[in-house]
Structure 1
Amino acid sequence: MNLIVNQLFKHSNGNVIRVLYVNSISNVLYVINMEGNRWCYPMQSKDFIEAIQSKEWIEVPDTYIRAIPEEQLSEKEREKRDKAWEMVTAFLQELDNEELAFIGSHRKLAIDKVLRKYKISYNGFKALLLKYWRGGSAKNSLLPNYYKCGSSGKSRNLSGKKVGRPSTRGRDRGLNVDEKVKRQFKAALNKYYYNERNNSLKFTYEMVLKEYYTVESVQENGVTIPILAKAVPTYNQFLYWFKQLNDTKKEIIQRQGMRNYQQNHRAIIGTSTSEGWQFDSTQFDIYLVSSTNRNVIVGRPTLHMAVCAFTRMIMGFCISFESLNGYGGEMLALYNAMTSKKQFCKRYGIEIDDSEWAYGVPSKILTDQGALEGKRIEHAIEQLGIAIQQTPPYHADYKGIIEQAFEQLNVKIKPFADGVVIKGNQVKERGQKDYRLQATMTIDEFTKIVIKTVLFHNNHHVLKDYVLTEEMIELGVEKIPIKLWDYYVNHYKGSVRILPEGLIRINLLPTDTGTLTARGVSFKKMLYASPELLAAGHIVEARVNGSRKVKICYNPLDISEIYMYGEDGHLQKLMLLDHLVAYKGKGLDEVLALKEYEQDKDRKSQEKELQAKMKLYEELEAIVNVAREESAAERDPNLSKAQRIRGIKENQQAERMLQREILREPEVEEPEEWVDEFDEFAIFRGEMNE
């Protein structure tokens, strides 16, 4: 065991000593008692170490050293300290080496020289040296102990006479604030100040006077007016005791609410864990448009994201229109974080290597309350062997790492994007453009921007405030997430596991129910099929025996394909049918928004159709009525029913010949000028007609 200068040890009898000097050659150490007037004295290192090992002496924290900023010292304090420091320095300079200061004979010779030079008494200088050594041999240990003077924090014992400076206003205002007056102040604060009305201190003071210091009242115009007593507490007295009695935490909670206190005022000590991942979601401040019809504004997307707490690596994310704690968004973000992103990035036209964006399955995830909850996620977490740790309500600082990651994305993306939310929820000023109408990006384009930003963060962003360990400094680890990740996976074995993608998909992707029909598997009014499904005869079976429900899982970000659970427990991929190609590559939320838009247009068209249909019916009825009237007028009442239906076939043939004559091309009636100018042609046409 190595003893270190300035260590403090406490004996079993309560005595506390400080180690002043250790001579490793002679195995002697010099110590000083922290109480009393005794000079420092030697001890054998071996014996002292044995006493420590036997718990006779135990090391204790150092509570004797004063750490005071220079600017907080008064001029008098600095003057006294510097004078004492000058004398102690002169004493040490009289010694050939530091150890001689702890040997009585050598120490006395040096002290005598200091006493003659500075005209100070022996006991006075001894007190300075003891104070210097007990204070850790620091310059500020020689500061005068003014902080021990007076009765700070204690109330005076008041007599009947008013204390304090006499009033200069010629009136005996003010009184001594005793326990009774304090109780009045407390009662008024609880009644009028500590509540959601947010009454001012001035009002609270005035209510103290009204309730406790009115001696009589007079009637004026039918109104009772209280008269104040001659001696009342002043507002300055009330303000002074408010500062003494006030509980800041209680004030904020009672006046602004617990949530406001937790989010904006409570003490933050930096509790972000450095183990596992942090997971959270936020609604990004940008409006997007549909990729099928850019006239359709589909709202603000939700960003779910996972960050490695140790390396600050953004492990994966999901951009969707799921709710903040929506199962689909959470699962897709975790799926993205736990699997290779090569195919994910390729879908957006970005080629990467796995070394640029890490992945794996963590052992622990820290998240807030409400996220990653429910039976479905519990099953997934259990199957993948992940522990979920949740923060208390309104404790965003517990997840400070991911909160900072959100901020980094906002800072880099918002200056370049359109449709960005301006001024949050504030009322739009007159003439100000509606930022929602400025939206230009689809969810795919926005996702591409986020991918680019995440790749920059993971591979190039320098974490200036990251604290490296000694080993990391020796190995030359750079403060870049991807470099920290390389160190992490090589030195913290078992923290991240690589599992088969199929296993992760089965456990994480959201599940739902589809319908196996004669046209394929129907899900959200879309149809899916595969060669395997046809070969197995399921389509024919559905046509013969009717539809049946099947369990499927899907990726809400791309509904081009879904996965149907087979009877053997394996997943079977089904593709969107060709005639629904317009929805290929689209997310479920986007497709549902498009379908709603189409249905809205259909409803409007149907309203127009219905109006036109009313006109049609009216016209049809008019024609029928005319036919009825003319038939009734021309009908021969002398004809029997048998006569009317006799010869229908012959009547039809005669009508056919008549219609043929009518349908012949009619003659074109030419203007007279044409006939006069081209008489030969007119004669020719006449001959032809004959």
Structure 2
Amino acid sequence: MQVEINSIWDVKGVDGLDDGLYRLLASYKDDDLFILFNMSSKSKLQRPIGVSIELFSEIIKREEIKSSAFELPFYQLASESDIPQAHVEKRNEQFELIKALVVEPYFLFEIVLNQRCGVMPAHAKSKGTYVQKLYRILNQYWRYGQDINALVPAYKNSGGPGEPRLAGVKKRGAPVQLSTPSMIPPSGKNTTEDDKKKFLKAIKKYALKGRPTAISRVYDKMLNELYADEILQAERECRDPLVPSLRAFRYWVKKLIPESEMIRKRTSKGDFERNRRGLRGAATDHSEVPGSYFELDATVLDVHIVSEFNRNQVIGRPTLYYVVDKESKMVVGVHVSMEYASWRAGRQALVNSFTAKKEFCSRYGVEIEKEDWPCHHIPQRLLCDRGEFICKKAEELAVPLIGHLSFAPPYRADKKGVVEHRFHILNENLIHDLMGTTRGVNHIRGDKDPRMDAVHTLNEVIQMIIEDVLKQNSKTLDALAVQTTLLIESDLSPTPLNYWNVHLKKHFHALNKADEAEVRAKLLPVVYVSMTSKGIRLNENMYYECDRPEFEDWKTIARNNGTWRMESRIDSDSASFIYVRLQAHEGFTRCKLMQMSSIFEDRHIADVLYFKDWKKIEKSKLNVSSRSINIHARRNSIIEDAKKEVKDSPKPSTKAERVRDMKDRRREYILDSRVDERVDPNSDLMDNDSSVERMSEVRKKKVISILKRKKDSDK
């Protein structure tokens, strides 16, 4: 082991040397001698000790001497400009007394070998001082590193700062200043050791209970409980009670209880871990490259939305899912729906993050290139909440794709700090500026209801969120600049998009290529559809078709032999397409919405559900109204009148007579109707007695004989 001048050594169990710390002052290799100084005692003066170099090396090998360290006092570590001038003068004055001794190379050698060395008395006489003073200065010089600043006076320790003192009779502290001379301030009371015990008891009983409590309230409770006798006695004697003041109470609470303990115990454990504890590092400390960790989380957006079908119908606040790459802070997936935070909605966010974004963005009117949002990969790990993914479905479907799921503890949003910060940015930049926003606060009685201002549909909100995500992915983040040198080498600005692209280009990533068909087949919800004569039916009014040549034949079979059921996968972001397993032993085929169901084109599943609910409500409404009641009454009246006239008319003798010559009577009725249409009722034909004869002649002229087909019996 290398032995250096001024090095510190911890000595234990060595013959001839007391246990403790020693500083190596000098080395005389020619004389096989190390000069050591014992630093353990400050109370008495110490002389340096000589030790053989060979023996010292052997003791080091036996580990009876170990290398150690000694911390210099803080006032000796100050720069020259920060040392007060009076301290500098005192330091220089003491150094001048020993300068001639310490610069002499063999001074330590002589003082160690000669116990009655005459160098010290002679030097003390020449400087006009005494030997003990020189030894005091030299001890300080040797103890603190043989440097001129070792002689800086320790005036900062004068008076025993921080050391407790016993209270005397005289009142300590600044007196109360009054402007009115005739008013006498209360005398007050010095804080005693008994008072300090009461302070600790009150603080532990009322303040350190896991919730914030005002110190003044704790002080009042302490007086009522622990100083009640003194206060009652003072009232009987008509004097001021001798109790500590609130100011003294605050002062001693800070002195007696560490501030870190006060912070920790005056709040809940979860709040301390989230918002108050000291930070141990950055969020990216455990993610080496893009794809190491994706964070997934959901939040209810602070804005109310309306229906696509009827903008006067508010349907509530949607749920937003973000999937963010922890290393690059890139938003790799987004999903907005009216579903509550659940596995059903969470897997839609995973599908979005694992698939290409160009078609997804164009669906909402945002045209991009693949390079603008090149995120369609599967990560090594996914950090998510227990609520959505700690279920059997997530383990069966997501784990085979991702490989490892990590769950954040309950009430610990700080464990997903990157995605939580993305929510905060979205609220500040977009959501809190929209019509119908709640601004993250509960509705207060008397304020305007934000639901009354809601004007945006779900698709409009999704479009604005997509545009904000693209903006945030291209925003400069200073934190990314210190995470890698690739951005500097490529001369790229530190944005999430550049960080993502440069790592993929250099193959420094942990991303896996995602097969879109496999992702959708494994993650999208299973729904069974029916093959009908019109097409593939989902729900009641949604029909889909595909480009298969045999599709028309399947419709024909379904019309004649009945419908059959098929397995499908639906994407809740759009009703324009579904994925159907058309035959038992094949994959899923993309089917598009038919023209007859075009009302659902590009609709979100929330709008489809709204349409179904609207139909249910309309069906449940009463069809009876005042008009229908009047129609029903008139209809019954007509029926009763007709029955009465039939009853008053002469009855036929037989049933056959009632229906006999029915065709002739119908023919005459038709001819009469035709004549009535051609003859004006107000003409002269209707004014004389011959009108009937004339009408009969007209009727005969209109009659045309038609040849009848011979019956088989006539042949």
- Say yes or no: does 1:398 pair with 2:404: no
Please give the alpha-carbon distance, in whole angstroms, between the structure 2 residues aligned to 1:551 and 1:639: 67
Percent identity for Structure 1 against Structure 2: 19
Give me the TM-score of the superposition, normalised by structure 1: 0.70
How far the C-alpha of 1:620 sits from its partner, in A, is 1.2
Please give the alpha-carbon distance, in whole angstroms, between the structure 1 residues aligned to 2:226 and 2:505: 73
Asked whether the 8 Å contact 1:19–1:32 carries over to 2, the reply is: yes
- Say yes or no: does 1:233 pair with 2:243: yes
User: Secondary structure of 1:451's match?
Assistant: helix
Deviation string for 1:424-452 (max 9, x for gaps)? Answer: 3242755x5x5444444443343333333
Q: How does 1:66-465 map to 2 (within 5 A)?
A: 66=74, 78=84, 82-83=88-89, 121-123=133-135, 125-126=137-138, 129-130=141-142, 133=145, 144=154, 146=156, 150=160, 152=162, 177-178=192-193, 201-202=215-216, 204-214=218-228, 233-236=243-246, 238-240=249-251, 242-243=253-254, 260-270=271-281, 272-274=283-285, 275=287, 276-323=293-340, 325-347=341-363, 348-354=365-371, 357-414=374-431, 417-422=434-439, 424-427=441-444, 435-463=450-478
| 5+ long unaligned stretches in structure 2 | 14-18, 28-32, 112-118, 177-183, 288-292, 685-697, 699-715
Amino acid at match of 2:325: C
Deviation string for 1:247-272 (max 9, x for gaps)? Answer: 87887888765555554444444452
Asked whether the 8 Å contact 2:481–2:487 carries over to 1, the reply is: no
- Say yes or no: does 1:567 pair with 2:584: yes
- Say yes or no: does 1:496 pair with 2:511: yes
Please give the alpha-carbon distance, in whole angstroms, between the structure 1 residues aligned to 2:622 and 2:175: 85
- Say yes or no: does 1:635 pair with 2:649: yes
User: Secondary structure of 1:558's match?
Assistant: coil
How far the C-alpha of 1:557 sits from its partner, in A, is 0.7
**Residues 497 and 465 of structure 1, relative CA distance in 2, 3 Å threshold:** closer
Deviation string for 1:189-211 (max 9, x for gaps)? Answer: 56665669987555554444444
**Residues 446 and 48 of structure 1, relative CA distance in 2, 3 Å threshold:** farther
Please give the alpha-carbon distance, in whole angstroms, between the structure 2 residues aligned to 1:5 and 1:648: 143
Q: What does residue 588 of structure 1 align with?
A: 605
Please give the alpha-carbon distance, in whole angstroms, between the structure 1 residues aligned to 2:480 and 2:442: 33
Please give the alpha-carbon distance, in whole angstroms, between the structure 2 residues aligned to 1:354 and 1:564: 30
Please give the alpha-carbon distance, in whole angstroms, between the structure 2 residues aligned to 1:369 and 1:165: 56
How far the C-alpha of 1:583 sits from its partner, in A, is 0.9
User: Secondary structure of 2:575's match?
Assistant: strand
Amino acid at match of 1:386: G
Deviation string for 1:222-275 (max 9, x for gaps)? Answer: xxx999999663343554554456687887888765555554444444452441
Deviation string for 1:579-602 (max 9, x for gaps)? Answer: 1111122221232124434554x3
How far the C-alpha of 1:320 sits from its partner, in A, is 2.5
Please give the alpha-carbon distance, in whole angstroms, between the structure 1 residues aligned to 2:643 and 2:161: 116
Asked which structure has the greater CA Rg, the reply is 2
Amino acid at match of 1:330: G
Amino acid at match of 2:134: Y
Please give the alpha-carbon distance, in whole angstroms, between the structure 2 residues aligned to 1:193 and 1:585: 58
Amino acid at match of 1:272: A
Please give the alpha-carbon distance, in whole angstroms, between the structure 2 residues aligned to 1:59 and 1:342: 65
Deviation string for 1:444-486 (max 9, x for gaps)? Answer: 3433333333333333524257424578766766422233334
Please give the alpha-carbon distance, in whole angstroms, between the structure 1 residues aligned to 2:22 and 2:141: 15
Amino acid at match of 2:321: H
Structure 1 window deviating more from structure 2 (167-176 vs 623-632): it is 167-176
Q: What does residue 558 of structure 1 align with?
A: 574
How far the C-alpha of 1:619 sits from its partner, in A, is 2.2
User: Secondary structure of 1:370's match?
Assistant: helix
User: Secondary structure of 1:233's match?
Assistant: coil
Please give the alpha-carbon distance, in whole angstroms, between the structure 2 residues aligned to 1:326 and 1:314: 20
Please give the alpha-carbon distance, in whole angstroms, between the structure 1 residues aligned to 2:625 and 2:415: 60
Amino acid at match of 2:474: N
Amino acid at match of 1:345: C
Asked whether the 8 Å contact 2:300–2:317 carries over to 1, the reply is: yes
**Residues 59 and 663 of structure 1, relative CA distance in 2, 3 Å threshold:** farther
Structure 1 window deviating more from structure 2 (300-309 vs 512-521): it is 512-521
RMSD: 5.7
Q: How many residues align?
A: 634
| 5+ long unaligned stretches in structure 1 | 23-27, 219-224, 671-687
Please give the alpha-carbon distance, in whole angstroms, between the structure 1 residues aligned to 2:5 and 2:558: 87
How far the C-alpha of 1:353 sits from its partner, in A, is 3.1
Asked whether the 8 Å contact 2:211–2:268 carries over to 1, the reply is: no
Structure 1 window deviating more from structure 2 (365-374 vs 517-526): it is 517-526
User: Secondary structure of 2:419's match?
Assistant: helix
Asked whether the 8 Å contact 2:302–2:432 carries over to 1, the reply is: no
Please give the alpha-carbon distance, in whole angstroms, between the structure 2 residues aligned to 1:591 and 1:536: 27
- Say yes or no: does 1:624 pair with 2:639: yes
Amino acid at match of 1:583: F
Structure 1 window deviating more from structure 2 (140-149 vs 492-501): it is 140-149
Amino acid at match of 2:587: H
Please give the alpha-carbon distance, in whole angstroms, between the structure 2 residues aligned to 1:43 and 1:468: 52
Please give the alpha-carbon distance, in whole angstroms, between the structure 2 residues aligned to 1:140 and 1:665: 138
Please give the alpha-carbon distance, in whole angstroms, between the structure 2 residues aligned to 1:191 and 1:141: 49
Asked whether the 8 Å contact 2:473–2:496 carries over to 1, the reply is: yes
How far the C-alpha of 1:564 sits from its partner, in A, is 2.9
**Residues 642 and 392 of structure 1, relative CA distance in 2, 3 Å threshold:** closer
